[in-house]
Amino acid sequence: GDSVTQMEGPVTLSEEAFLTINCTYTATGYPSLFWYVQYPGEGLQLLLKATKADDKGSNKGFEATYRKETTSFHLEKGSVQVSDSAVYFCALSGGGTSYGKLTFGQGTILTVHP
């Protein structure tokens, strides 16, 4: 079945550091890929998405590129801020009859210090 694997956390960075959170997936067909973010005390929010190979999703300075050859969708940001501290979830929506439901990774906790 479909699965998503994220890098182990937690990740702790200083403000303005470069961020990478790795995400790899297993799926049949041609899934869509997503990053969701959960800020402290808030619900899940869609951060960015990519629906086909080589697409780049971007939002709020975050980027991720859909790499079919490596089955990856790594999240990057060039300069993190304290306000980026949150839990980040990689997710996929499988093809065919599975389309729509999301399969999530386990989440990566990011803490950014001033």
Which residues of the chain form contacts with another protein (CB under 8 A)? 4, 32, 36, 42-46, 49, 89, 91, 93, 97, 99-107
Phi-psi region of 70 (alpha: psi -120 to 50; beta: other; left: phi over 0): alpha
CA distance 31 to 66: 10
CB atoms within 10 A of CB 99: 12
User: From the CB of 2, what's the least distance to another protein, in Å?
Assistant: 10
- Closer residue to another protein in complex, CB, 49/77: 49
For another protein, the closer CB: 100 or 114: 100
DSSP 8-state class, residue 67: B
Q: How many Cα atoms within 13 Å fall on the side-chain side of residue 33?
A: 33
Give min distance, CB of 46 to another protein, in A. 6
Closer residue to another protein in complex, CB, 17/22: 22
Least distance from another protein to the Cβ atom of residue 108, Å: 10
